[in-house]
Amino acid sequence: MNMTEQPTVVGTYSDVMAAHVARARLEAEGIRTFLLDENLLTVNPLLAGAMGGVKLVVAAADADIARELLARPSAVCDEPACPACGSHRIQMHHAGRRSAFLTILLLGAPIGRARATARC
């Protein structure tokens, strides 16, 4: 980013790591970025509300493209998805855990097995 280009804030983040992820997404697309208030909020994250969070800044010419890229869902998602519908809004349910615990209490050894299943 040249000194003559007007900097524009395209995103604010209360978490420094989320700001770095967004910055990496834009830089992977060739948009030069920098973060404001990153070091202050790394040292004292409780100031995020008072400072307005970490600000992701790009050149004014790249602002519209950057906002569009940030609005798209990330291609990489490490959250588990529902096998039936593909939704990432799921809760993990541990089936069989209660019966395994009760058999340990009654028989001294677990019978059956506990398994995790996803529920939408």
Q: How many other β-carbons are positioned within 10 Å of the β-carbon of residue 54? A: 27
Res 11: pLDDT: 94
Q: What percent of the chain has pLDDT over 70?
A: 73
Q: What is the 3-state secondary structure (H, E, C) of 17-52?
A: HHHHHHHHHHHHCCCCEEEECHHHHHHCHHHHHHHC
Q: What is the dihedral of CA 63, 68, 73, 77, to 10 degrees?
A: -30
Tens digit of each residue's pLDDT (9 = 90 or more) over 55-108: 999 999 999 999 999 998 776 656 666 777 777 667 766 666 677 777 778 887
pLDDT score at 41: 83
Phi first, then psi: give them for residue 46, nearest 5 degrees: -70, -15
